[in-house]
C-alpha cells in the first residue's frame, strides 16, 4: 500500500472519533502548527519552554486513544538542564533529517508506516463523517512525538510535503512555501542573499567606472 492510498482512511479501520468540537481540518492544522513550533523554535528552548510546548501545542494536537493508562515519561523537573539541552538538540536533528526525506514518496512511506505500526498515528473520523489521521499520545521519545504530528499531517495532505515543504539551507527553518522550497532558503535568508548580491553588483560597477 502506498502513502497515497493511506490518504483515504477507508482502507484502514477507523479507531478513533474526534471530539465534537474538533473537525478533521482543525486537527490537521493543530498537528502541523505544533510540529512547526518545535522544529523552528526548540533550538532556543530550555526546560520551561519544552514543558510549555508539551502541555500546550502538543497536548492540544495529540490525542489519547487508549483506555489503558499510559506510562508517564520522567518529570522534566527531575532531568538535569544539560540533559534537556541534549534531548532537544538530538530530537530536532532527528526530525529535520526525517523531514528532508518526506518529499520523496518512498522515504515518506517508511516514516509514515513506522508511525502507524507503532500506534503513534491512527485513523479517525469527525462528527461530520470526514475521515483522516491524528497523532496519539503513545510515543515516549520526544522525536517520535514530533514526527507523529508531521506523519498525521502528511497523511491528510501529502502533496504539501512533496511540493511545498521548504527547509532553509542556512538556519533549517521549516515552512510550507513552494517558493522557499525551490530556493532552499527561508524568506529572511533569501532577502539577505539578494541584498548582498545587489551590493556586490553595485561595488563592481563602481570599480569598473
204 shares a domain with 145: no
> What is the pLDDT at residue 198?
38
> What is the pLDDT at residue 197?
45
- Is pTM beyond 0.85? Reply is no
154 shares a domain with 176: no
Decide if 96 contacts 165 (C-beta within 8 A).
Answer: no
192 shares a domain with 181: yes
181 shares a domain with 147: no
Helix, strand, coil shares of the chain, percent, nearest 5, are 60, 10, 30
203 shares a domain with 136: no
77 shares a domain with 45: yes
**How far apart are the C-alpha atoms of 89 and 169, rounded to whole Å?**
17
Residues 6+ apart with CB under 8 A from 171: 186, 188, 189
* % residues pLDDT > 70 (the chain): 77
196 shares a domain with 153: no
Among 70, 99, 123, 92, which Cα is nearest to 175's?
Answer: 99
Among 41, 40, 28, 55, which Cα is nearest to 149's?
Answer: 28
Among 37, 14, 22, 60, which Cα is nearest to 155's?
Answer: 14
134 shares a domain with 172: no
CATH number at residue 126: 1.10.3300
> What is the pLDDT at residue 194?
47
Where would I find the beta strands (DSSP E) of 111-207? 121-125, 131-135, 165-167, 174-176
Decide if 134 contacts 18 (C-beta within 8 A).
Answer: yes
200 shares a domain with 188: yes
Decide if 155 contacts 3 (C-beta within 8 A).
Answer: yes
43 shares a domain with 28: yes
Q: Does 192 score more than 80 pLDDT?
A: no
Total domain count for the chain?
A: 2
186 shares a domain with 90: no
What count of other Cβ atoms lies within 10 Å of the Cβ of residue 137? Answer: 17
Which residues constitute the domain of residue 169?
164-209
14 shares a domain with 117: yes
Q: Tens digit of pLDDT for each residue in 91-136?
A: 999 999 999 888 888 889 999 999 999 999 999 988 888 889 999 9
Q: Tens digit of pLDDT for each residue in 58-81?
A: 999 999 876 555 555 666 767 788
- 130 or 3, greater pLDDT: 130
> Taking residues 165-187, what's their average pLDDT?
84
Among 2, 3, 1, which Cα is nearest to 161's?
Answer: 3
Amino acid at each position: 500500500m502506498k502513502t497515497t492510498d493511506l490518504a483515504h482512511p477507508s482502507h484502514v479501520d477507523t479507531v478513533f472519533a474526534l471530539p465534537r468540537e474538533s473537525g478533521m481540518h482543525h486537527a490537521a492544522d493543530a498537528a502541523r502548527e505544533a510540529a512547526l513550533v518545535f522544529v523552528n523554535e526548540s533550538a532556543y528552548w530550555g526546560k520551561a519552554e519544552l514543558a510549555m510546548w508539551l502541555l500546550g501545542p502538543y497536548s492540544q494536537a495529540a490525542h489519547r486513544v487508549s483506555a489503558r493508562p499510559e506510562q508517564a515519561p520522567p518529570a522534566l523537573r527531575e532531568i538535569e538542564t544539560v540533559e534537556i539541552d541534549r534531548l532537544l538538540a538530538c530530537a530536532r536533528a532527528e526530525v529535520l533529517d526525517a523531514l528532508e526525506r518526506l518529499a520523496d514518496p518512498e522515504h515518506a512511506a517508511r516514516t509514515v508506516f513506522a508511525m502507524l505500526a507503532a500506534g503513534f498515528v491512527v485513523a479517525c473520523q469527525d462528527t461530520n463523517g470526514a475521515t483522516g489521521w491524528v497523532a496519539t499520545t503513545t510515543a515516549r521519545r520526544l522525536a517520535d512525538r514530533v514526527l507523529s504530528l508531521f506523519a498525521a499531517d502528511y497523511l491528510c495532505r501529502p502533496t504539501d510535503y512533496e511540493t511545498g515543504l521548504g527547509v532553509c539551507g542556512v538556519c533549517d527553518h521549516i515552512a510550507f512555501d513552494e517558493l522557499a522550497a525551490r530556493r532552499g532558503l527561508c524568506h529572511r535568508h533569501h532577502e539577505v542573499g539578494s541584498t548582498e548580491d545587489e551590493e556586490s553588483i553595485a561595488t563592481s560597477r563602481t570599480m569598473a567606472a
